[in-house]
Every structure is written in C-alpha cells, then in structure tokens.
Structure 1
C-alpha cells in the first residue's frame, strides 16, 4: 500500500515509529510533517527554540493562509502518487483539508489522536469527514460516538520491539541510571505536584527541564536534563526499581504509550 502519514518524525516520535513499522511491513510510506522546520540554535539554547515553536504553533499556524500554504506539499504528494490510506496523527488538518485530500486520493483518511482531552484545542476533527477517528482514551471514543455519532475507535499506542527491549546494565551504567524511582517525559505542572511527594526517594526524571514559568522547587535534584531514547530509555527503566508511569489528569479512561514501553523493556 501507498500510505501518507501526517505527523512528527523526530527521534522517539509517534509518527516515526509508525512510519518505520509500516516500512518494515513493505508498505510505501510518504511522510508529511506540518509546520516550519526551525534550525536548532545551540547558541541561544533550548528555551529559545521552545519559544519559536510555541509562537508558530499558537499564533501563526492558526492563520488560514499560513495553514493552507503549509499543506500544499501534502496535496502535491497525494496528486503524484496513488495513495491507498492517509493516517493523520493529531488535529493537523481542517475539515476543508480533509475533504480535499479525500477528493484527491479517493481512499480512506483516518486520524489517530494520541493526546488527552485537554489537548483538543480547536478540535477541527469534530467537523472533519474522517473515515474513522481513533483515540487513546476510551472515554473520548465512546463520548464522540454516542453524542456526535462520529465513527470512532479506541486504539492505544504500543511499544516498538525494535527500540523497546530489556537491557542489562554495566557497572558504570548502573551509576548513571541506578535509582529507586524513574520516569521519562515532559515535566508539566501535574508531574511537579506529584513528584514533590517523592523527594525522600532517590528519583531520576529524564527529559527536558520544566518550563521557565513553572515552580520547580523541591524537584530539581531529580531532573537529569537529558532525553533518553531507544536502548538508553531501556537502561533508564531497568536501572530503577520502579518506573512511575503517572497519567495526565485529563486522561479519563485510557493509557499512554509509556505503559507499553515499560513492559516491552522488561521493567517494573
């Protein structure tokens, strides 16, 4: 099959894993990543890059002429190839974009929304004519099906055995990753509030530092300030006695991809 994936493809991204799996299954995958591709500015640092991304995503990307110009390459790809399926991995496309894409490809266009209810924002998918809308929270899937008669499905994310597997740590690696409790991901306020209850334990949190506006008093010693991916992520999981996989408070009846990654890595 010829399959278009609309999403992000950085290391560890949802879209990248799906694209790699489909490619291994001998499908032809066309990647389309919405938005501007900023060059990483190592001099000004991560904070500046975050500000640029936020400005684009929260301001400029919401302007119709910017959005329409952004998706031109997507339509060109659809016109130049016989597309059998399009998978959209967030609320990237407006209703008119989905309609045009379906008119071009004459094939199914589905959305697989990987976030919590709190990230609905514009909720363009509610009025877009997707063939199926998949969600990682069963509450969302059931509610949209019952209240709006949208064709929905409950589809959690999964681990990728190519990257999520059990590892054995060396003595030096145990010094780096060893701890009582660990987790991997973004440090948002709900996590800060939870982790403040765990300061008496030896805990390591892998990922970006909290936003500059967040009060991170009490948890700074936990923060490693470093991302871990693939084998390193497995080492972080296996180096801890417990992997604390807390869900965002807006997740009502679902689970995150970390659930599967932890078990795939053979951690507890």
Structure 2
C-alpha cells in the first residue's frame, strides 16, 4: 500500500516515526512537509498562512497536487492548521482514497479549527474528550488512538540501569518545550532542594532559577536514550490542556526503560503496566514526596522501570498504533483489541 503523510519532517517527529512503522509493516510511505512549498520553510509558511488567506489556500492546493502525484492508497494528515481546501482538492481527484486526520495535540492546539472544517473521512485523537465532542456533537467519524514510541529509535542502552545512573549522575531530568506552566513546576522542584537538569526548547519567559539548570540541548537520538535511561527520575509534567490524555514523551520514556514520574490522567490507568499511583502524582507536594522516596530507594524504581519497559514494548509501539489505525480504516483485517483500551465516550 502507498501511504502519504503530511506533517513535520523534523528528526524524532511523530510523522517520521509513523513513516518508519508503515515501512516496517510492508507499506511504501512518503512524508510531505510544507517546507517543500516555496522558499519560506515550515515556520514561514505557517505564519504567512495564518494571516494571509490567499496564501493559505495556495499552500493547500500545492500540497494537494503533491499528494495526488504520489497516487496514494491512504492519506494521513498530521498537521492541524492546513486549509480545508487541501482535503477538498485531494477528494476531487482521488474520490475513493481515505483521507485521515491524526491529531497528536492537546485541546488548546486546535488552531482555527481547520480539521473540524475539513471533510476528513476519519479523525483520530489521543484525547477521549476530543473524540467524544467530534463524534457526538460535531457528527464526525472520530476515533480514539493513543500515541506511542518507536522501538527502533527509542532504545534502552545495553547497560544496567544502576550503572547508567552512576555515569549520568542526574537526579531529576525534565525535557520539552519550556512554556511558563512547565517552568513554574520546575521552580517548585528547585525550591524543594531537588537537583534538576532541564533539556529542551527555550520558552519566551524563562525565569532565573530555571535558566541556571537549563542545558540548552534538545534531546534526540542516542543522547535522548542515554539521558532518559540514565536519569534517576524523569519528571513528566503534562500540558494543562491535556484533559485526560498524556503526551508522546510518556510512551518514549517508558519504552527506553527510564523511570518516569508523570502527571496523573485517567488514560494512564489503561496504559501503565504497574499501579498508576506508584508512578504518577496529583499535586506538586505529592510529586516532591515521591521524588524523595524514589531517590532513597533505587531498587524500587529500577524494579518499576523494568516492568514498565516490558509492558510498553509489548503494548505501546507505533507499529501497534499504525496497525490499529489501518484496522479502523478498513485497510487491514481486524486485530485483537487490548482489553485495557478506554472506551470512546
């Protein structure tokens, strides 16, 4: 099967991992980014499209032409901000090809609601609340699909975790976009006396305490595997707009074999391989108490990390997610559904 994915071409992006999984499962997969349209690049195209309607429609038409030229059997659009004319143009020329929207973002990142305005054949979201609203109120063909990790990229280093922790010597690691909400939570860890190392992308409101522990490095590739596995604790604080769902990092950390302490969300109960209350927190006081406990009990965190690693290798790879998507779209035979999968409300 020939699959075209519209989305980010950045290293370690969801779209890159989806392409890899489609190929591993025996399909041809091609990734198209807006960087291929004109001289502006992805960021320039985004901002120009946001404010200039004529340019927005032009980008949609040009992307549609590139998609059609690949003669796909399936089109998967990950970007949320594409003009609805993209879907309209592809359907006009390929009326029998399913066009799927896969939204990996929180509720706050629905842009100008372009995905709701466009006539996709299927809508997939990691957020059960979004699925419920799209299906039962907007009348769209919406389905729940969690994110995952790529076992060929997110790999456990071949050494004992205790040795990796000794070599890395990081008590608590935080990584990701340093928006104000995340920064405020990191500050509370620092004030509590927790030794924190922060990696990721600098935000516009970096505060002094966090600036002192910011490593000025985006984690990808082998460095990401080494540091997430080697940190004694990886602290994953989810965006406040994650209503019931988690982020992709949640799956990557566990898939690499790191020990993760994460915001509690209802979907965690269906993902985790150990009791959720052992590896989640509900308040910052709860998080600080658990950090202190697990720093003092290395054998316990190693045990939990090993159980999570085995569970996530079996249940939460992108290969499984792609298979679930294809089964829902009707492009592969039904597969056995996981009993832990949350029901669509």
The reply to whether TM is greater than 0.5 is yes
Mapped contact 2:61–2:86 kept (Cα < 8 A): no
**Which of 103, 123, 133 is equivalent to 2:123?**
133
Mapped contact 1:6–1:87 kept (Cα < 8 A): yes
Describe the superposition over 1:102-135 as per-residue Cα deviations: whole angstroms up to 9, x where unpaired: 2222210010011111111201111211111111
**Which of 102, 119, 130 is equivalent to 1:112?**
102
| 2:184 matches 1:222 | no
Give the superposition deviation at 1:56: 4.8
Q: Where in structure 2 are the equivalents of 1:1-268 lying within 5 Å?
A: 1-35=1-35, 53=43, 56-106=45-95, 107-167=97-157, 168=159, 177-199=168-190, 200-211=193-204, 214-268=205-259
Mapped contact 1:90–1:114 kept (Cα < 8 A): no
How has the CA–CA distance of structure 1 residues 170 and 39 changed in structure 2, closer, same or farther, with 3 Å as cutoff?
farther
Report the TM-score when normalising by structure 1: 0.86
Number of matched pairs: 254
Q: CA RMSD in A?
A: 2.6
Q: Equivalents in 1 of 2:163, 2:232: separation in Å?
A: 17
Q: Equivalents in 1 of 2:229, 2:161: separation in Å?
A: 11
Report the TM-score when normalising by structure 2: 0.67
Describe the superposition over 1:220-258 as per-residue Cα deviations: whole angstroms up to 9, x where unpaired: 222110112122111111221111111100000111111
Q: Equivalents in 2 of 1:259, 1:251: separation in Å?
A: 13
How has the CA–CA distance of structure 1 residues 16 and 218 changed in structure 2, closer, same or farther, with 3 Å as cutoff?
same
Give the superposition deviation at 1:12: 0.9
The structure carrying a bigger helix percent of its residues is 2
Give the superposition deviation at 1:99: 1.7
How has the CA–CA distance of structure 1 residues 203 and 259 changed in structure 2, closer, same or farther, with 3 Å as cutoff?
same
Q: Which runs of 5+ in 1 are unaligned?
A: 41-51
Give the superposition deviation at 1:215: 4.1
Q: Equivalents in 1 of 2:40, 2:98: separation in Å?
A: 34
Mapped contact 1:169–1:235 kept (Cα < 8 A): no
Give the superposition deviation at 1:30: 2.4
Secondary structure class of the residue paired with 1:134: strand
Mapped contact 1:114–1:157 kept (Cα < 8 A): yes
Secondary structure class of the residue paired with 1:68: helix
Secondary structure class of the residue paired with 1:30: strand
Q: Which runs of 5+ in 2 are unaligned?
A: 260-345
List structure 1 segments (4+ residues) > 4 angstroms apart after TM superposition: 35-40, 169-176
Mapped contact 1:84–1:105 kept (Cα < 8 A): no
Give the superposition deviation at 1:165: 1.6
Describe the superposition over 1:125-158 as per-residue Cα deviations: whole angstroms up to 9, x where unpaired: 1121111111111111112212112111111110
Q: Equivalents in 2 of 1:208, 1:132: separation in Å?
A: 32
Alignment match, 1:46: none
